[in-house]
Amino acid sequence: MFPKTNGIISSSKAKALDKKAQEKFGVSSLILMENAGRAVAEEVMKVLKNYKSKRVAVFCGKGNNGSDGLVTARHLLALGIKPDIFLASKSKEVSNEAKVNLKILQRLKQKIIEVDEKNLSIIKNKIHRYQLIVDALLGIGLKGKVKGIYGSLIDMINRSKAYVLSVDVPSGLDANTGKVLGVCVKADRTVTFVAKKKGMILGKGQRLCGKVTVKDLGIPLY
Q: Which is nearest to 110 in space by CA: 157, 134, 142, 75? A: 75
Average pLDDT over residues 86-114: 95
Q: Is pLDDT at 4 greater than 80 in this prediction?
A: no
- The whole-number pLDDT of residue 219 equals 76
Report pLDDT digits (tens) over 16-67.
Answer: 988 888 888 898 999 999 999 999 999 999 999 998 889 999 999 999 999 9
Q: What is the pLDDT of residue 58?
A: 98
Residue bearing the bigger pLDDT, 53 or 178:
178
Domain assignment of residue 36, given as a range: 10-215
| Type and span of the H or E element at 211 | strand 211-215
CA distances from 34 to 74, 75, 205 (A): 10, 9, 26
What phi and psi values does residue 98 have, to the nearest 5 degrees? Answer: -65, -35
Please check whether residue 125 lies inside any domain of the structure.
yes
Asked if residue 220 is part of any domain, the answer here is no
* Cα–Cα distance measured from residue 59 to residue 136, given in angstroms and rounded to the nearest whole number: 6
2 inside domain:
no
Identify whether 137 is part of a domain.
yes
Which positions ≥6 away from 55 have C-beta within 8 Å?
84, 129, 130, 131, 132
Taking each helix axis from N to C terminus, what angle separates 29-48 and 96-107, rounded to the nearest 10 degrees? 60
Q: What is the CATH number of the domain that holds 149?
A: 3.40.50.10260
CB 194 within 8 A of CB 221: yes
- 1 lies in a domain? no
Q: Is residue 129 part of a domain?
A: yes
State how many domains the chain has.
1
Residue 4 lies in a domain: no
- Burial class for 122, CB neighbours closer than 10 Å (0-12, 13-18, 19+): exposed
The whole-angstrom separation of Cα 204 and Cα 180 is: 7
Q: Does a structural domain hold residue 68?
A: yes
